[in-house]
Amino acid sequence: MSFCPSCGSPAPAALVDGVEVPCCPVHGAAWRLVRTGSTVEVAVVRSGRVLLCKRATEPYAGCWSLPGGFVNPGEAPEEAARREAREEAGVETELIALLGLYLSSYRKDEWLTVATYLARSSGEPVADGKETSAVAWFSEGELPFLPWNQEERVRAALWRAGC
């Protein structure tokens, strides 16, 4: 089962123009889930801790993860990274470095290209209540389970930030 990237609702497969595509009952065909998608995530680091968001939608509802998401058509990855941090964690960020590009399994037969950025922010994070239900700072020793193999990227961010 796939989930709508816009609202998180179940998106059962349907034939669209002869191609099986996940279809949200509200937003329609989710073509970007059929191909490798471009995504971003932001490792906001402060005082030896990384900012994580508790996911409010599927996939992985209830799990902690870096703020991030899909890059919109025509959007620069850096802008997408800042937008996702603002939307999901309520913080304005200064991107410090591109940590790397990664290939991540999203769901069965769905792959994402992930641009991971190291960032800093002086603002206080606030969950948006829609995509995220909570936000919190974690040290390396406190890291919870992180989906999409984010743990190695979080550790790289903390190392790169000198933590």
Residues 80 and 134 in one domain: yes
Residues 20 and 81 in one domain: no
Residues 115 and 49 in one domain: yes
Domain span at residue 68 reads 36-160
Between 119 and 72, residue with greater pLDDT: 119
Percent of the chain with pLDDT over 90: 61
Give the pLDDT confidence of 20-66 residue by residue, as tens digits.
Answer: 778 888 888 875 555 557 899 999 999 999 999 999 998 899 999 99
Please answer whether residues 91 and 44 qualify as being in contact, where contact means their C-beta atoms are separated by less than 8 angstroms: yes
Backbone angles phi, psi at 87, to 5 degrees: -65, -45
State the pLDDT at residue 13: 84
- What mean pLDDT comes out for the span 99-121? 86
> How many folded domains does the chain comprise?
2
When mean pLDDT is compared across 22-31, 110-119, 122-131, the lowest value belongs to 22-31
- Tell me: cis bond preceding 59? Omega within 30 of 0 counts: yes
Residues 50 and 126 in one domain: yes
- What mean pLDDT comes out for the span 91-104? 95
